[in-house]
Amino acid sequence: MRVPALFAIACIGAVAAETDVTAPRFEKDILPIFTTYCFTCHGKSTPKLGLDLRTASSTLRGSQNGPVIEKGSPEKSLLWQKVSSKAMPPAVFGQTLPDAHIETIRRWIAGGAPSDQPSGVTRKEVQEQIGKFDQTILPLFKSRCVQCHGAANPMAGLDLTSLAALLRGSKTGPVVQDGFSDRSVLVRKLASAAMPPPGAGKPFSEAEVRTVREWIDKGNFSDTPGTDQAAERAFTEAEAPAITQKNRDFWSFRKPAASPVPKVKDQARVRTPIDSFVLARLEAKGLSLSPDAPKLTLMRRAWVDLTGIPPSPEDIAQYFADTKPGAYERMIDRLLASPLYGERWGRHWLDAVGYVDTTGKDFDPGKAELSDGIWRYRDYVIRQRTMTSPGISS
């Protein structure tokens, strides 16, 4: 009986640790810190990276890149990593988070990030938003919008006759961003008088736009009954247009079919089936293949193409000393295994992903520092572009 008893004590201790009543609370201890040091970027309706620190629920929701808080584990929480390393708030704003505040944030996360707010969206809040839409927002749409966005075939796929249809958006994507009116296409269109279009109805007044804006800023749409969540996650027509038969017939999508190797007059010049196809086109025009390039010329071409530099005298001597059949192929294998090949062709991939050696974190190119460890990615790309086989001299 001692083992179950010890196990029960351990469980009780774990629960007590997670619900530490002495841990700082969001509204009393954390919000004042965020208000002073973080709200410049993360305390408005269009927060940077989507991270809104104005409430506990929005903080726990995280940013566009995912959660920033892992309850009970400061070390695994991106928010703690940023503030403890003094990366946030940025030095450019001239503010440094005091160590006492950093410790408060650590204790808050370690204690389970407690808040005086009820966790999640309550049923009452959802019903209030539905009622606001039905009583205030929908009548505005019916008076000026549904003639284009409420028929059997609504313009741009945007149906404004119900809340669920509004939240699904149009063919080009969502028109309402939950909790963020400034990022909502619907608000921008109404505020600029682009919608309703001239002649289609009276523009929305400032008071009416404010009503729509306040309703969107309050949010709480994610649990709205009748919302087709699968449709919200699906690609829009603009992102994934319908595939036509013409698309399917494009050459790269058709199943490869072997073509018969053509017969040519100068069979002595044919070394592979590909030579037959090339030579057949040339002979049809009264032409032929050029004479074989000298051994040294062929070597220099391969070096410059694959590494960007000519061979050294030592490499030339090594190549000419190989008199066995397949010497050229072995030279190509050595070039493909060379770091020189990885450096020449890896740079194209590094350019595509925007690789730079510096961080630029000070917002001043003259003060940019070398990014710690980023060279490892550069070397990884070079290694991936280099085949595994015996190396060559460089």
Residue ranges covered by each domain of the chain: 2-110, 123-233, 258-291, 295-384
pLDDT above 70 (res 17) = no
pLDDT tens digits, one per residue of 182-221: 888 999 999 998 999 888 778 999 999 999 999 988 877 6
The pair of three-digit structure tokens given for residue 270, joined into one six-digit string: 């044919």
Asked if 25 contacts 114 with a C-beta cutoff of 8 angstroms, the reply is yes
Q: How far apart are CA 161 and CA 138, in angstroms?
A: 7
Burial 109-120 (b: 16+ CB within 10 A, else e): bbbebbbeeeee
pLDDT value at residue 330? 94
237 band by pLDDT with thresholds 50, 70 and 90: low
Burial class (CB in 10 A: 0-12, 13-18, 19+), 262: middle
Q: How far apart are CA 20 and CA 16, in angstroms?
A: 6
The residue-averaged pLDDT of 291-304 equals 94
pLDDT value at residue 373? 73
The pair of three-digit structure tokens given for residue 358, joined into one six-digit string: 């510096």
* pTM listed for this prediction: 0.40
Looking at per-residue confidence, does 12 or 103 come out higher? 103
pLDDT tens digits, one per residue of 92-120: 667 788 999 999 999 999 999 998 876 55
pLDDT value at residue 206? 92
CB atoms under 10 Å from CB of 197, counted, come to 11
